[in-house]
């Protein structure tokens, strides 16, 4: 175990679990070097099904150079419907080739536009919209450019295999028929850097302010906080609004491309007198609903990352429970070859159950969890419970704080602390292929291999 990159430590990822030097290099030299395909789990009816019973048109889109939110906005503008009528299962990155599902309420196949950088395939109709998380997972095919120590990939793989609690006989050469060269590995199920902003990691800071009821602080965390990774004009605009709070003058400085910030500034500039908490909250509510939810989710994710780092520091296992842990069980409906935790099925592990639950974990049937804290969260007991309470106390948070208005409210859930997969490493060019359950990040696997600045992962 070795210290993580300083930028990763700001979002709660304190360690790498592999000690070998990273292979170096960078990702996304070209969009084609980062391919993501959703492992789908959403049923549809034929495209000519009754639109009263099945009002949502469902299609698969392969996107090149499109951020999911931007594509949804482009699509809704072209069709002439509200952006809120467009839904998807998972947000994907702009600098990649991504294949994912979308649904549009009240649209017909003929309404779908031709969009540069998008190949659209109509799948059918559905009685409800696709919801965030309506997928089993994602399959990745990734190319590493200019690796410095590609020969280290093998030793890193072995270390990750051991961290995942996998027996030597289950290692290299024991893959499935479809993937015979893949090796099983495990890594801490951290939330990756992009959850918080790869170049400007402030999303969790906005969320923490919201959960603490500091609407003013949440807005300023989003509008201000300039970083060196941004253009000079953007840094100047953020510094100006942070120093002056002159909302109207700030509109003249914020570039048009920062449309979310400009929308918030319009709300503040239109207020009578000095804005109060309700005006600051209204400014945040100008943002898309999924982004509003993301702020609170990022705060939960930051606390979760902190809990995993503390568990690592204490030397507690990730692949099996200790007394007081809360485990979840495997989703029996997961696609073949994908291990998918079902966090709706939880069990608290007392001293009597440690051995029996350990056997379930060894067979891939159970997983140790940590909380994404919300109003209905019940914390663990034992040493893990002590970790969870210590982190929340340090952040000045408690479950009741998540009883928030509108899209900011969260009941919370639990999440597996270990993610297991099978990775295939190829050379010339160096490439890694693997699949992950929904909600897990490819960069969390890749950071162990490259050990570079997160910007080179994102």
Contact call for residues 384 and 362 (beta carbons, < 8 A) = no
Closest C-alpha to 199, from 77, 336, 53, 95 = 95
Interacting residues of 444 by C-beta distance below 8 A, sequence separation 6+: 187, 188, 189, 190, 191, 192, 419
Cis peptide before 364 (omega within 30 of 0): no
| Residue 26 DSSP symbol | B
- Beta strand 326-330 with 418-426: parallel, antiparallel or unpaired? unpaired
Contact call for residues 135 and 90 (beta carbons, < 8 A) = yes
The Cβ of residue 431 has, within 10 Å, a number of other Cβ atoms equal to 14
Contact call for residues 305 and 214 (beta carbons, < 8 A) = no
Contact call for residues 92 and 61 (beta carbons, < 8 A) = no
The interaxial angle of helices 203-211 and 289-314, nearest 10 deg, is: 100
Write out the two tokens for 413.
């859930």
The yes-or-no answer on residue 456 being catalytic is: no
Contact call for residues 328 and 366 (beta carbons, < 8 A) = yes
Q: How far apart are CA 252 and CA 195, in angstroms?
A: 30
Question: What is the length of the chain?
Answer: 458
Interacting residues of 357 by C-beta distance below 8 A, sequence separation 6+: 320, 321, 327, 347, 349, 366
Contact call for residues 130 and 101 (beta carbons, < 8 A) = yes
Contact call for residues 418 and 164 (beta carbons, < 8 A) = yes
Write out the two tokens for 42.
């959403």
Write out the two tokens for 213.
């009821």
Element (H, E) at 57: strand 56-64
**Catalytic one among 31, 93, 319, 331?**
93
Q: How far apart are CA 77 and CA 259, in angstroms?
A: 15
Q: Which residues are catalytic?
A: 93
């Amino acid at each position: 175990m070795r210290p993580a990159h300083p930028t990763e430590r700001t979002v709660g990822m304190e360690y790498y679990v592999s000690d070998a030097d990273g292979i170096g290099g960078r990702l996304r030299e070209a969009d084609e070097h980062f391919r993501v395909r959703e492992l789908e789990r959403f049923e549809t009816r034929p495209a000519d099904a009754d639109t009263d019973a099945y009002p949502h048109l469902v299609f698969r889109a392969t996107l090149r150079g499109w951020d999911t939110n931007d594509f949804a906005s482009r699509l809704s503008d072209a069709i002439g419907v509200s952006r809120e009528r467009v839904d998807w299962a998972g947000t994907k990155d702009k600098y990649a080739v991504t294949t994912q599902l979308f649904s549009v309420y009240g649209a017909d196949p003929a309404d779908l536009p031709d969009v540069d950088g998008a190949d659209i395939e109509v799948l059918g109709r559905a009685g409800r919209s696709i919801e965030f998380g309506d997928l089993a997972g994602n399959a990745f095919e990734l190319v590493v450019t200019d690796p410095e120590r590609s020969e280290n990939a093998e030793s890193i793989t072995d270390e990750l295999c051991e961290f995942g609690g996998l027996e030597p006989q289950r290692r290299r050469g024991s893959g499935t028929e479809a993937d015979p060269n893949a090796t099983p590995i495990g890594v801490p199920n951290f939330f990756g850097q992009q959850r918080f902003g790869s170049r400007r990691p402030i999303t969790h800071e906005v969320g923490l302010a919201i959960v603490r009821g500091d609407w003013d602080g949440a807005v300023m965390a989003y509008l201000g906080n300039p970083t060196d990774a941004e253009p000079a004009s953007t840094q100047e605009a953020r510094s100006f609004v942070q120093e002056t709070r002159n909302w109207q003058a700030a509109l003249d400085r914020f570039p048009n491309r920062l449309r979310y910030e400009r929308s918030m500034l319009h709300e503040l500039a239109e207020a009578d007198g000095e804005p109060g908490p309700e005006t600051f909250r209204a400014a945040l509510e100008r943002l898309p609903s999924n982004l509003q939810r993301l702020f609170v989710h990022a705060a939960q994710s930051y606390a979760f990352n902190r809990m995993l780092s503390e568990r690592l520091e204490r030397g507690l296992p990730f692949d099996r429970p200790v007394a007081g842990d809360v485990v979840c069980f495997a989703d029996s409906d997961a696609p073949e070859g994908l291990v998918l935790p079902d966090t709706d099925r939880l069990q608290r592990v007392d001293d009597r159950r440690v051995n029996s639950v350990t056997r379930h974990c060894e067979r891939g049937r159970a997983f140790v969890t940590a909380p994404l804290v919300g109003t209905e969260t019940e914390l663990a007991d034992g040493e893990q419970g002590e970790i969870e309470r210590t982190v929340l106390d340090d952040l000045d948070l408690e479950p009741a704080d998540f009883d928030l208005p509108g899209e900011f409210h969260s009941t919370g859930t639990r999440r597996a602390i270990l993610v297991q997969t099978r990775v295939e490493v190829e050379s010339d060019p160096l490439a890694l292929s693997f699949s992950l359950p929904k909600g897990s990040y490819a960069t969390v696997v890749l950071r162990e291999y490259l050990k570079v600045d997160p910007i080179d992962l994102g």
